[in-house]
Amino acid sequence: MQVAAMVFYVLCETFNKNQFVLNFVVCIVLLAMDFWTVKNVTGRLLVGLRWWNEGNSETGNAWRFESLSEGQRVINPYESRWFWIVLVGNPAVWVLLSLSALLGLDWGYLLIPITGVVLGGSNLAGYFKCSKDAKKQLQSMTANMATNAMTSAMTGRLQAAIARV
């Protein structure tokens, strides 16, 4: 659903010109469905984590973070890696789409990617608090991305220098 929301957002004006309300509602519904699915289903099945908010009249709101113990869950490392990559990448893509709408001065459509950032960021924050080793995973993923970016930049410069010779 994340991809569906992003693709619909990018292409909605192409197919539904001048129908802002319809485009807005469809995007927000897709984002809400994605948020609910990731929060309540995907995280629990793929990484054994879940989070929620309990509210009562006496104590107010209480955030709950749950992580199944190692003996209770069998987690596929490949699925877990993809879960965390998509969980981090989703708000990042919505930030880029927000910047695009901001630079295009498209104030109405700016609300959609901002909603995507907020919902994706909420899931990221919730699962980050649930996971005992999320900090290590996030640092490792960030280091790998930085290393890959530097390697590709250096390779590109080296190839350009060789081509000039």
Q: How far apart are CA 81 and CA 130, in angstroms?
A: 16
Q: How far apart are CA 163 and CA 158, in angstroms?
A: 9
Instruction: Read off the tokens for 74.
Output: 């069998």
What rounded mean pLDDT belongs to the chain? 83
The three-class DSSP label of residue 165 is: coil
What pLDDT sits at residue 25?
Answer: 92
For residues 117 and 94, the answer to whether their CB atoms sit within 8 Å is yes
What pLDDT sits at residue 36?
Answer: 94
pLDDT band at 68 (very low <50, low <70, confident <90, very high): confident
State the CB neighbour count (10 A cutoff) for residue 70: 10
What digits encode the pLDDT tens for the residues 71-125? 676 778 888 889 999 999 999 999 998 898 888 888 888 899 999 999 999 999 9
Q: How far apart are CA 9 and CA 109, in angstroms?
A: 9
For residues 51 and 131, the answer to whether their CB atoms sit within 8 Å is no
134, pLDDT greater than 60: no
